[in-house]
A and B are shown apart, each in its own frame.
Chain A
Amino acid sequence: MSKEVKPESTLIDMTSVTEAVGAETQSVDASRRNFFKHSIAGAFGAAAMMNMMPAGIRSMAYAAGSDAPEITEVKIGFIPLTDCAPIVVAAEMGFDKKYGIKITPSKEASWAGVRDKVVNGELHAAHVLYGLMYGVQMGIGGQQKDMAVLMALNHNGQGITLSTQLKDKGVKDGKTLKRVMANENRDFTFAQTFPTGTHAMWLNYWLAANGIDPVKDVKNIVVPPPQMVANMRIGNMDGYCVGEPWNARAIYDKVGYTVATSQDIWADHPEKVLGTTADFVAKNPNTARAMMMAILEASKYIDATANRAKVAELISGKSYVNAPKDVILGRFLGDYDNGNGKKWKDPNYMKFYDDGKVPFPYISDGMWFLTQHKRWGMLKSDPDYLGIAKKVNQVELYKQAASQLGVSVPKSEMRSSKLMDGIVWDGSNPAAYASAFKIKA
């Protein structure tokens, strides 16, 4: 195949590759994007294409020299949740091979385990909570280690479940919950999945936006995601925040109902990321890029509605999420039923690609988790929000991977969102944002 490469096509490669290195990656025009879609992503895979080029040209492509993956077999950890799909699909459907690597998904039992194994190199990367990455970066509750967010894996698709007992008492939203809590003289217990993680932040944000102080007014515990439903059944807690399918499962098992989805709190919020250590990226930039390309392609595949049933089937297996396919599929397609008489088609259901908006590691998303860690007292003082997020989120590496696949890259590294309480977060003035909340630690 390599003999058939015509000089013209090599020329096109080179211009695009040079662009990939330059700062202005946004302006890849449509025709070239199509060329990439069809030749690189489609026929042979970027790694194979790059290998056809003489070594001298290749070394121009990336400052590191050859683009050949430094490590070709990568072990990527995941926790049994619907949003682990990109890792599973990249490995099971062979997207990894197109980029010269082999991904072995590794099912993990706890987020602490994921963190330790990524930090000590037992796992090369992982499907991991956005907030956890920043928790480790800041040394919250454990050893400090410089981390790297390669790309985001999904937006939306988490939720807050309350017990059936609260439903019977007429709790249908945050306001009614506050009222019931005021009337009952007892501790209310809420569970989430990891102290610095995303679910702790969604739960805290939702409670606080409803006038309930998550530090003083409730008892906060951590329960592993697959054990949430069982713990609620035996009455260990009043509510929990977790990723799907474990909210849908509570309805299916008739032990609870969904009082809010995470997209109700923040439409298109950041959630899981592909995370590794800064050391790994420094030593293996090409492997990191290959992983990103394989997973980007998987994400695009999953986002096509026509493929979702097949993906749900694939991840429902025992070695992955281990839950009935039907429990996963409904919300995976945006078909929501809150278990309390309301059914709707959610436009902000779990997204993996959304024309390149989901995977982009927005700097403002990373900073947001730092603002919440500060808000809830896990950070004693304001960190260098912008500096840290720019160090952790690998925007340049991401742009290289995205441009090779013709994935569109947002113009700005910051994005603006209005959360459920009407407060706007756009990455500007993080210290003021973190301290302005009425309810905080």
Chain B
Amino acid sequence: MLKVMIVDNNRDRTKSLKQSLLDTGYEVIAHLKDTVNLEGACCELQPDVVIIDTDSPSRDTLENLCVMSMHHPRPVVMFTHDGDKEKIKTATQAGVCAYVVGTIPSERLTPVIDAAVARFEEFKHLRAELAMAKTQLDERKIIERAKGLLMKQRNLDEEEAYSLLRSMAMKKNMKLADLSNQLIEAASMLIV
């Protein structure tokens, strides 16, 4: 059984990856949040595979083990040594990086990488969705404020204010939210 160590400060992602690895029959021996004692954990727990975010600063700590382990019996090497190019590309695009100890046949390694890629992509997707939802919410708030301003300044009702805002945006070829933003900024200067 392969012993997998996960280094990730995203707790939710770690949790789902861990579950999915356990389901496929792998042993997850540790999940670490950051560099503090990463080296100690590697020496002590001796994982076969370390899964880490490509953009994690802790990667350089693992690199040190790669080089230093030339003198030690436990080599840690990047999985890009062998293994097919397409797979590596998919993994790096998803943000997954794996350090492999010793030589593990690719048919044993592949499911681990696949599980990690799937989880990382899922999280990337979720994050993008969240960011979009947040922008939309922010935009709506801004439009509401601009509408409120127009209602007060020009003595309009809500519907009138909205259609005025919309026709201005269309005339200026601007997004409703952008125009609202300008309006609020201009108003704040005038009022102060």
Binding site for B on A (CB under 8 A): 108-113, 116, 120, 122, 135, 140-143, 193-196, 220-224, 226-227, 231, 234, 236, 377-378, 441
Contacts and interface: CB of A to CB of B under 8 A. Distances in A.
B70 A112 contact: no
B58 A195 contact: no
Nearest to B40: A221
Interface string B48-61: 00000011111111
Contact of B62 (A112, A236, A378): A112
24 contacts: A109-B55, A109-B56, A109-B57, A110-B59, A111-B60, A112-B62, A113-B55, A116-B97, A120-B89, A122-B92, A135-B67, A142-B63, A142-B80, A143-B78, A143-B81, A193-B60, A194-B63, A221-B39, A222-B61, A224-B35, A224-B60, A227-B35, A231-B36, A378-B67
A231 B35 contact: yes
A227 B57 contact: yes
A110 B80 contact: no
B108 interface: no
Contacts of A112: 59-60, 62-63
Contacts of A135: 67
A221 B78 contact: no
Given A116-B92, A142-B78, A194-B63, A224 B58 contact: yes
Interface in B126-177: none
A222 B34 CA distance: 12
A220 B64 contact: yes
A223 B67 contact: no
A344 B66 CA distance: 40
Given A113-B55, A224-B58, A195 B63 contact: yes
B77 interface: yes
B94 to A, nearest CB: 13
Given A142-B66, A142-B80, A195-B66, 14 more contacts: A109-B59, A111-B60, A112-B62, A113-B54, A116-B97, A143-B80, A143-B81, A195-B64, A222-B63, A222-B64, A223-B35, A223-B61, A378-B70, A441-B71
Among A110, A113, A227, residue most surrounded by chain B Cβ atoms (within 10 Å): A110
Among B35, B36, B57, B97, residue most surrounded by chain A Cβ atoms (within 10 Å): B57
Nearest to B55: A109
A141 B66 contact: yes
Among B60, B70, B77, residue most surrounded by chain A Cβ atoms (within 10 Å): B60
A387 to B, nearest CB: 23
Given A116-B54, A224-B57, A227-B57, A236 B36 contact: yes
B68 interface: yes
A195 B55 contact: no
